[in-house]
Amino acid sequence: MTLLVERLLLLGLGGLLLLWLWQRQVWQRQKEKLEAAFYDLLEHQGGKITLIQLVAKSRIDPEIAQSFLREQAQFFGAVMESDPHGHDYYQFPPI
């Protein structure tokens, strides 16, 4: 009985480790997509980036993209502004 429990615990821990490694790889791919899309938009949009642009270009979940965009805005000192239609965007400093 004890041997069976030990094997089940080891199997469970192995499964958890594989799940964690897979999730880490997914997060890394998402980060790479977001960074590529962000820097492309930054260069081609004159520093003006909207959330929807980042989501469309990176194909990442909007909540994840929004968190990423806020972090970048804070890091680079971007300012949130609104266009005449009331759409919000971040204005990043010139490159």
Tell me the domain boundaries of the chain. 2-91
For residue 1, pLDDT beyond 70: no
Give per-residue burial for 26-57: e unless 16+ CB within 10 Å, then b: eeeebeebbeebbeebbeeeebebbbebbbeb
The whole-angstrom separation of Cα 76 and Cα 78 is 6
Q: What is the pLDDT of residues 24-58, one digit of tens each?
A: 998 899 999 999 999 999 999 999 999 999 999 99
For residue 13, pLDDT beyond 90: no
The yes or no reply on domain 2-91 and CATH 2.40.50 is: no
The whole-angstrom separation of Cα 69 and Cα 25 is 20
Percentage of the residues of the chain whose pLDDT score is greater than 90 = 71
Name the pTM for this structure.
Answer: 0.78
Question: Rounded to whole angstroms, what are the CA distances from 48 to 57, 67, 79, 86?
Answer: 14, 17, 10, 14
